[in-house]
Structure 1
Amino acid sequence: MSNAIIELEDIHVHHKIRGGKLFSPRLIKAVNGVDFAVHHGQTVGIVGESGCGKSTLASVLVGLQEPTSGKVLFDGKPVSRRNAAARKEFGRSVGVVFQDPATALNPRMTIMDTLTDPLRVHGIGTSATRRTKALELLDVVGLPASAASALPSQVSGGQRQRVAIARALALEPAVIVADEPTSALDVSVRAQVLNLLTDLKSQLNLGMVFISHDIQTVRYVSDTICVMNAGQIVERGDAAQVFDRPTNDYTRTLLGAAPALLEH
């Protein structure tokens, strides 16, 4: 796991919830002893059913969730809430693409403002250079410059997700974490967005974490697949190995239930 951009070591995330007895809260182990690493130019797919812990793991990866125990390393150095400078660098280096672009984008901000806002917040460039950067980002994700003046409601769902990807790239991150980025899209545009993410990963030498409940979609984009169940990674390997020679019963169940929506 050397030279990883982000490395998680023995990560546990536990939540206390009220159980049947007043003074006996139950402990939910959302993530239970996970080791995980992301490298430049690599897409790691995390797949599992709802409630398996994959979105909690994503929250740890992007710094939104502090683990109960375990270590988060960025470029080999620990990241903690106590080190503000390291956390700021970490925040700039990890871009996030959420499930539904309709709710992830501010409906009252133009696409230009959406793309320049992260640069403004981090004090990067001037007003003019930020606008130039925004137009470059639109070009990178295959949208015309004329889209800059539109509101999110004035473009299609697939175009909104392209805007969300452009925003995730604005701070030139080392890693993109995409949490169910195509599940809110029509089948006809899913492959376009998946191909865009794959192309960007190669062009920019990004690390990418792709999270989905759909093992066929994960197969389409991933170099390495991690199968999660009950807060643990129960199977890990390259895409062909996991598909052709699964060793875990849960993986076999996922494969047996998956419709082949996105075959090569």
Structure 2
Amino acid sequence: MSEASTPGPHRAEPVIELKDIHVHHRARSGSIFKPTIVKAVNGVDFSIGRGETVGIVGESGCGKSTLASVLVGLQAPTSGEVLFRGKPALKRNAALRKEFGRSVSVVFQDPATALNPRMQVKDILTDPLTVHGIGSSASRAQRVKELLALVGLPASAAGAFPNQISGGQRQRVAIARALALDPDIIVADEPTSALDVSVRAQVLNLLSDLKSELNLGMVFISHDIQTVRYVSDRICVMNAGEIVEEGSAEQVFDRPSNAYTKTLLGAAPSLLHLPA
């Protein structure tokens, strides 16, 4: 890993730290006596604190989504250590699970499948508050109004079902749901790849504005290195389950040290038409 991966004095105290994380899967192609082991994540160190956006970029199958699953607690690593506010977090008791659930939220790739089609938007946004026992009916209703305004949706959207609004609006609802519990960290896994090109930049701008306004930490995962550059303070480049390069967005783009990073930079141009 590059020298840029060493935390500097300006970096926020990590909310989540991953140390030497391995996630290995047994592939179907092997035999009982000689199983084929796929190393989806292979020895990754990673940290994220409030107020910074860390982009994780790499081609499909490089392990970035598996790493995201470990970050949000959906996947247990084969080996390694997960720290939450400096404390071991792999074996969570009920209190730690609740605290972790409030602190770390996720925005999935496709809002059409991430949102319950049978629930109105107001119920989708109220649900996290209800599960965590936060507030009264009146205060939850007020929180729904605040969340809709925060992501740029009209108050009338509260009564709509997901199939009655556009893809971009659905992703805004998904982002609002992720913000419902006032988290420290949001993990956004390919949050714009299922959207029309015309609305991608709008959602990216929204995420950047929310990060600044709320002092959020954000992990932004994508296969498009130009998109990652647009939103990230720090970039981690993944290949074959490992972080092969890490540094500031400027450093990774202007002075890449890894051959795979140079390949990504020379690949498909950005749909956002960002300046060089």
Work out whether the TM-score is over 0.5. yes
2:84 paired residue number: 74
Q: CA offsets per residue over residues 92-128 of structure 1, 9 Å max, x none?
A: 1111100010110001100000000010011111111
Aligned counterparts of 1:138 and 1:18: Cα–Cα separation in 2: 45
Structure 2 letter corresponding to 1:65: Q
2:4 paired residue number: none
Q: CA offsets per residue over residues 13-51 of structure 1, 9 Å max, x none?
A: 111123343421111111000000101110000000111
1:131 matched to 2:141? The reply is yes
1:161 matched to 2:175? The reply is no
Q: Is the contact between residue 58 and residue 222 of structure 2 (CA under 8 Å) also seen in structure 1?
A: yes
2:180 paired residue number: 170
The normalised TM-score by structure 1 is 0.97
Alignment counterpart, residue 90 of structure 1, candidates 90, 94, 100: 100
Shift of 1:82: 4.3
Q: Which runs of 5+ in 1 are unaligned?
A: none
Structure 2 letter corresponding to 1:166: A
1:189 matched to 2:199? The reply is yes
1:37 paired residue number: 47
- Report the more deviating stretch, 133-142 or 123-132: 123-132
Secondary structure of the residue aligned to 1:133 is helix
Q: CA offsets per residue over residues 148-171 of structure 1, 9 Å max, x none?
A: 000011111111000000000001
Secondary structure of the residue aligned to 2:235 is strand
Q: Is the contact between residue 59 and residue 65 of structure 1 (CA under 8 Å) also seen in structure 2?
A: yes
Secondary structure of the residue aligned to 1:5 is strand
Aligned counterparts of 2:227 and 2:135: Cα–Cα separation in 1: 37
2:160 paired residue number: 150
Q: Is the contact between residue 12 and residue 31 of structure 1 (CA under 8 Å) also seen in structure 2?
A: yes
1:13 paired residue number: 23
Structure 2 letter corresponding to 1:240: E
Q: CA offsets per residue over residues 200-230 of structure 1, 9 Å max, x none?
A: 0011111000000010100000000000000
Structure 1 letter corresponding to 2:252: V
Aligned counterparts of 1:78 and 1:49: Cα–Cα separation in 2: 31
Aligned counterparts of 2:83 and 2:31: Cα–Cα separation in 1: 38
1:199 paired residue number: 209
Q: Is the contact between residue 100 and residue 184 of structure 1 (CA under 8 Å) also seen in structure 2?
A: yes
Aligned counterparts of 2:24 and 2:30: Cα–Cα separation in 1: 18
Structure 2 letter corresponding to 1:181: P
Alignment length (residue pairs)? 264
Shift of 1:258: 2.5
Alignment counterpart, residue 50 of structure 1, candidates 40, 53, 60: 60
Q: 1:20 to 1:95 in 2, by over 3 A?
A: closer
2:110 paired residue number: 100
The normalised TM-score by structure 2 is 0.93
Secondary structure of the residue aligned to 1:148 is helix
Q: Is the contact between residue 3 and residue 76 of structure 1 (CA under 8 Å) also seen in structure 2?
A: no
Aligned counterparts of 1:258 and 1:62: Cα–Cα separation in 2: 30
Aligned counterparts of 1:85 and 1:72: Cα–Cα separation in 2: 17
Aligned counterparts of 2:78 and 2:31: Cα–Cα separation in 1: 24
